[in-house]
Amino acid sequence: MLKTIKELLKKRLVGPQLMKSHYSLVDEPSVIETEHYYDKWTDKYLDSYGDIFQAVRPDSDEAFLTYLKEGIGITNGMKLLDAGCGICGPSIYFAQENEVTIDALTISNVQVEIAKKKIISADLTNKVKVKKGDFHKLDNIYQSNSYDIVFFLESLGYANQLDSLISGVYKVLKPGGCIYIKDYFFVPAKEERHFAAQTETAVEVRREYCYRLLDIENLISILRQTGFYLVFVRRREFTDDYTKAANFEKRNGHGNVCLRAMVNPYPLYEPLELKFQKIG
């Protein structure tokens, strides 16, 4: 990763594209790096977040999970794929609420072992299956044309090959199936000082969380080129509660990266939800 803010600023886009996005300025996390990060940090996330590793959320877990279920569009009889599932907190809830089957994938062995115990405890072994794997290779792990929905809950920022990842999603979805993404995206910067503040935040988030903030235009372009059409792009429709995020950063010395960004006078990034449907 580039070492200094000055180095990043020197590499910014020029002309009409000046200060448009930091996405190309901060390197992507490697698969091995993400694996090591979550093997090390999962217990710390559990301590602060409980079973739902989501920073942007309302104060009620049940209200949040209901909101996610409705946004994803989960109904009885569906086959779902949770890509970057953590310890399967949301997937366990979805399987309890609806007659669905869910395949869940994480890169972390630690998360797999915790998730398996929670699935057994919830008596859902016939509905939720978790395994270790790289979500860049979905089409090598799962059968083609087999899922109604593939969803990413604050996990897409760990991708390092978005084109091939989205291509894999397309292949494993049934014709007419959907991809749902809830994640963080850059806000366009209009002034140099805003761009500098955003760049500093992007570097901090990458360093502290092993995570690269996303670029909405880049992602939508990839989705469209792959063969998806828009269902919706929207901001979250709930009031944020940052208590769990604040506790996590306070306990673990993450320097209030998220909280500083949220209270900054100029928005540095924003949480968005996207849903696209496979053509065919």
- DSSP code string of the chain: ----HHHHHHTS--GGGTT--STTTSPPPPHHHHHHHHHHHHHHHHHHHTT---SS--S-HHHHHHHHHHHHT--TT-EEEEET-TTSHHHHHHHHHSS-EEEEEES-HHHHHHHHHHHHHTT-TTTEEEEE--GGGHHHHS-TT-EEEEEEES-GGG-S-HHHHHHHHHHHEEEEEEEEEEEEEEPPP-SHHHHHHHHHHHHHHHHHHS---B-HHHHHHHHHHHTEEEEEEEE-SS----HHHHHHHHHHT-TTHHHHHHH-SS--EEEEEEEEEE--
> Residues 2, 207: contact at Cβ < 8 Å?
no
Question: How many CA atoms are closer than 13 Å to the CA of 237, on its beta-carbon side?
Answer: 11
pLDDT of residue 2: 46
Q: Which structural domains are found in the chain, ordered by start?
A: 5-278 (3.40.50.150)
| 76 phi/psi in degrees, rounded to 5 | -60, 145
> Residues 276, 76: contact at Cβ < 8 Å?
no
Mean pLDDT in consecutive groups of 10 residues from the start of the chain, 280 residues = 50 45 79 97 94 86 94 98 98 98 98 98 98 97 98 96 96 98 86 81 88 92 97 86 83 74 74 93
pLDDT of residue 198: 82
pLDDT of residue 250: 84
Q: Give CA–CA dist 18/9, Å, rounded.
A: 10
* Sole residue written with tokens 């301590």: 47
- Size (the chain), residues: 280
pLDDT of residue 22: 65
pLDDT of residue 262: 66
Q: Give CA–CA dist 209/206, Å, rounded.
A: 6
pLDDT of residue 96: 98
